[in-house]
Amino acid sequence: MSGSSDDPFHIGPFSSRSTKEQITPHKLSLLVLLHEYQVMRGFIPATDMDDSTSCRGVALVNFTEREKRHFMTTMLDLLQCPDLKIKDLKARLQPLLHPQLMSSFLYRLEQFKLEGSMAVMDFIDTLGSYVYSNHNDMLIHRSSVAGIFVRRLWLSFSRLSFSQVCDFHARLCTYIQEGEQMEVSSACLTDSFMNFCTSQSMPRGLHLEDISNDSDDTCQNRAYFSQKQAEFFIAQQAQLLSHDENKALSPNKLQEQVTAILQANPDLAEAHFLSYLNSLRVKEYCSALHSLYHYFDRNARLMGEVTPSKKWEEEVSRRYAALNLAALHSQFDHKVEARAALLEAIRMAQEANDHVCLQHALAWLNLLSDQGTQKTASQMERSIAKSGELSLPVNVTITLCMCICACLYACVCVHANCSVLEYMMKSNVINCQHSLYAMMAVSGAQRAALWSYYGNRECASMCAQTVLCLNTSESGVFYNGEPICMALCHLARHHADKGAYSCAMEILQHARQRFPPHTKHAYLWQMCQQYIMFERALLAGRWAEAERAAGNVRALNDAEGRLLQAILHREQGEVNTSLSLLHTLVDLSSSSNDFLPDLKCRILLALAEVYLLTGNHTAALPHLANCLTHANTHHLVYLAAMSTMHLAVIQLRMKLPSQALNLLETVMLTVLSHGSSYDRARLLFIYVRCKVASASLSHFTQRTFGELMLDACCLMTTVVRLFESIEATSRVKDAVYYLARLYHQLGNTAERNRCAHRFKQLDQQVPTLAAVRFLGNRVPSKFR
């Protein structure tokens, strides 16, 4: 039974798509532009021109190669884009066209308005004869882009009745008159404003007829899309959304264009899928779900009569509809609904023996499963092998990336680190073999994150720069997704760790331009920016600014924000509050699988630092041992080195400087090679103190002891310079004070007085806290 027109869910016939071209004033303007261009080049004989053209005395123009190229590329863009208003068309053509060609084009349009519909009919017939000419030297080749465009419009105009031609001429006059009104209104803008200000009567209210007229004008002025234009627009915007969302139309404008496409082409199901992608940009669940339903519903109804091939296509459509529904739920973290949709897709794919759909579903199932389990690992191994057999390189490289993440969660043996590197190498080979530019960027960003996770920051910086230097252009559009933002954040953090805060902020400003705040990847640079601002304010002693940055980080990542707040309370001397926050984080990390191993180690390290601050070495030791064990288990080399450095501090305070020196020498290469300026300065400071303490306990001659003290002064000068580079004023004060003590032991009174004077100046800028409170007992400030 055919659908009734009274059915509210039936939206027109879907048996076949209309491919007829409709002539519009905009398309006629393009024909006029093409005609005038050929006239001025001398390709149209004088006998072929009408009387009005002859009377103008149009002179031939010798166009340069650059002008020809600009004209051809502009015409190609105008043929593919939707209809433009006359003012927009003028604004686009004015800076590109020859002035004489522009004036001739506008004159021809004005003649159409004055001479009536017969002028339009004669023009179309004359232009059609150029395409359908029998001689070999035809003026417009019938197989060219322009020739096909002229032929389609000529046939469309030939089908019009006389009343339709008159109606088209009326619309053409309105189209031309709108451009004239815009010029007049812009010229008289000042007079209109003065008349409005001097008028004594109030403007009348808005009446119902005004609303209806405005609504009609809006519908008429909306851009018209032919089917070819709509398909080109959908393909272009879909590619931009997947490669560079910032270059695509804004969500509101894109939705307006989709609405215009559906009004002109109600049977174009792909427009609903573009609406679905647009809704995902702004996290609109209901709109995305409805658009996805509409896409597969309309696509199924377009099948027409039932044939075996159409029935097979409809079954494929149902399977991928369930798969896309699972992807939608996964985007909004609806894991139960996503698994239900995936199981439905898997069931239909198994019934139809569709291995390709099964592999796509298995990749999503691996993503939704618990990472680090043996079951998930075996599923990934099978998915990699089967996807390779089916020549699905994207599936293979995505699964390899998931394998790397799974190893990070559950690497409990020595071979896990080797597995991660092996997966990375396989992913790189597949991406290069199949020219998967987007996946190359993903793999490079993952390598940078992986090296940073292990503590090799120089390699992480190199990989981040490699991502930014990749040529990821596809059809002239460079990939600008999440990996690019991550690479920029890596470089910003790297510069901030070296004390180059201005360079870091410039990099983040560039990231802001490429990923505006309303885009979905903006949270990456926003969190990086707040983290850098927190560290800078913390080292400089600006507590209010640091507290504000920590609150912003907590809004984006709760665990990271709590850790930063605990560190801030520790620096402010609020030890009880800091301990409470850190013990809460330790309990959460023990009971939840959402904490990565490096975050657990950082929490334990911060907790040990609080106990060291209060002089409670015994309480700090178990946390440091736990952190060191955890870091070694997960191959976190840098965090293991930091734990060892804190153990050396405990040994120094236990009057064991020689043992502390031995520990520091084992991690010195790692920290000095890949550490931040702050960590390197702390390491050298502790190393100097251990050297001096060890020398004081040893029986050195006066000369040897003096040489050791001079070396210690040189190292302390480096420590002061490193602390100054990161604006750590309070740490500079501590280092200058210790340097003054060293010069005093050497008997260098001038240098001692210079350091003492500088210490006094710094102490006036950043006063030392008198004491901190810990469990009701007053703790001297020397433990800070």
- SS3 at position 616: coil
Q: Which residue has the higher pLDDT, 632 or 124?
A: 632
Which region among 261-270, 409-418, 462-471, 591-600 has the lowest average model confidence (pLDDT)?
Answer: 409-418
Count Cβ atoms below 10 Å from residue 563 Cβ, excluding itself: 21
pLDDT at residue 12 tops 60: no
Domain annotation covers residue 33: yes
d(CA 377, CA 370): 10
The C-alpha angle 20, 24, 26, rounded to 5 degrees, equals 130
| Token pair 């191959």: residue | 635
Residue that is last in its domain, among 180, 215, 233:
180
pLDDT of residue 5: 36
Record the tokens describing residue 634, joined without a space: 């997960």
pLDDT at 59: 64
Residue 342 lies in a domain: no
Q: Mean pLDDT for the chain? A: 81
Torsion of CA 209, 214, 217, 218, to 10 degrees: -140
| 139 within some domain | yes
Six token digits for residue 518? 């309303």
Residue 610 has what pLDDT? 94
Query: What's the pLDDT score for residue 784?
Result: 34
Q: pLDDT exceeding 70 applies to what percent of the chain?
A: 82
If we measure between CA atoms, which residue out of 116, 117, 115, 131 comes closest to residue 44?
131
Q: Among 376-380, 472-476, 712-716, 766-770, which is the least confidently predicted range? A: 766-770
Least confident of 521-525, 530-534, 767-771: 767-771
Is residue 93 assigned to a domain? yes
Q: How confident is residue 72, by pLDDT bands cut at 50, 70 and 90?
A: confident
Rounding to the nearest 10 degrees, give the CA dihedral for residues 556, 561, 562, 568.
-160
Q: Which helix (H) or strand (E) holds 463?
A: helix 457-469
Q: What is the pLDDT of residue 156?
A: 83
Virtual CA dihedral for 480, 486, 490, 495, nearest 10 degrees?
50
Taking phi over 0 as left and psi of -120 to 50 as alpha, with beta for the rest, 655 belongs to left
- Ranges 332-341, 394-403, 566-575: which has the least confidence: 394-403
724 pLDDT exceeds 60?
yes
Q: What are phi and psi of 634, to 5 degrees?
A: -100, 15
Report pLDDT for 530.
Answer: 96
Helix, strand, coil share (%) of the chain residues, nearest 5: 75, 0, 20
Amino acid residing at 463: C
pLDDT band of residue 60 (cuts 50, 70, 90) is confident
- The burial class, CB within 10 Å (0-12 / 13-18 / 19+), for 35 is buried
Boundary of a domain, candidates 180, 198, 217: 180
The C-alpha atoms of residue 614 and residue 776 are separated, in whole angstroms, by 12
Let me know if residue 276 belongs to a domain.
no
Q: Is the pLDDT confidence value at 451 over 60?
A: yes
Give the tens place of pLDDT for each residue, 132-157: 555 555 566 777 787 888 888 888 88
In the structure encoding, which two tokens stand for residue 458, read together?
Answer: 């120089």
Q: Check pLDDT > 80 for residue 423.
A: yes
b/e 109-121 (16+ beta carbons within 10 angstroms → b): bebbbeeebebbe
**Inter-helix orientation angle 65-80/227-243, to 10°:** 100
More confident residue, 196 or 96: 96
In a domain, 147, yes or no: yes
Structure tokens at 413: 């043996």
Question: Which of 743, 733, 683, 682 is closest to 712 using CA atoms?
Answer: 743
Higher pLDDT, 195 or 303: 303
Task: Quote the tokens at residue 334.
Answer: 């609806």
How far apart, in Å, are the Cα atoms of 548 and each of 510, 512, 551? 23, 20, 5
Q: How far apart are CA 404 and CA 562, in angstroms?
A: 27
Residue 434 Cα distances to 394, 427, 437, 471, 720, angstroms: 9, 11, 9, 14, 52
**Residue 238 to residues 147, 278, 280, 332, 773, Cα–Cα distance (Å):** 28, 9, 12, 20, 60
Are 237 and 248 in contact by the 8 Å Cβ rule? The answer is yes
Assign 259 to helix, strand or coil. Answer: helix
Pair of tokens at residue 368: 């939704």
Instruction: Single out the residue in 156, 180, 204 at which a domain terminates.
Output: 180
| Most confident region among 39-48, 475-484, 648-657 by mean pLDDT | 648-657
At residue 102 the predicted structure's pLDDT band, cuts being 50, 70 and 90, is confident
Using the predicted structure, report yes or no on whether residue 19 has a pLDDT greater than 60: no
Number of structural domains (the chain) is 2
Q: Flag whether 383 is in a domain.
A: no
717, pLDDT greater than 60: yes
pLDDT at site 462? 94
State pLDDT tens for residues 761-770.
988 887 876 4
Assess contact for 540 and 738: CB atoms under 8 A.
no
Residue 42 has pLDDT above 60, yes or no: yes
Report which secondary-structure segment, H or E, holds 314.
helix 308-331
Number of Cβ within 10 Å of residue 238's Cβ equals 16
Strand 777-780 and strand 477-478: the pairing is unpaired
> What is the Cα–Cα distance from 387 to 403, expressed in whole angstroms?
14
Of residues 462 and 188, which shows the higher confidence score?
462
Query: Could you tell me if residue 41 is inside a domain?
Result: yes
Q: Which of 325, 359, 356, 328 is nearest to 341 (CA)?
A: 325
Instruction: Give the burial string for 331-340 (b: 16+ CB within 10 Å, else e).
Output: eeeeeeebbe
Residue whose token pair is 């006389």: 162
Res. 505: pLDDT tops 70: yes
| Residue range(s) defining the domain that contains residue 162 | 25-47+58-180
Q: Are 271 and 262 in contact (CB under 8 A)?
A: yes
Supply angle C-alpha 337, 339, 341, rounded to 5: 70
Q: Are 735 and 685 in contact (CB under 8 A)?
A: yes
Burial category of 592 from C-beta neighbours within 10 Å (exposed 0-12, middle 13-18, buried 19 and up) = exposed
pLDDT tens, 264-295?
Answer: 888 888 899 999 999 988 888 999 999 998 88
Q: How far is CA 75 from CA 67, 149, 476, in A?
A: 12, 11, 19
| Res 21: pLDDT | 67
Buried b (16+ CB within 10 A) or exposed e, 599-630: bbbbbbbbbbbbbbbbebbeebbebbebbbeb
Quick: pLDDT tens for 187-237. 443 344 334 344 443 333 333 233 333 334 444 445 677 788 888 889 889
Give the tokens for residue 530. Answer: 């707040």
3-state secondary structure 661-715: HHHHHHHHHHHHHHCCHHHHHHHHHHHHHHHHHHHHHCCCCHHHHHHHHHHHHHH
Q: How confident is the model at residue 314 (pLDDT cuts 50, 70, 90)?
A: confident
Work out the average pLDDT over 438-462.
Answer: 91
- The SS3 of residue 142 is coil
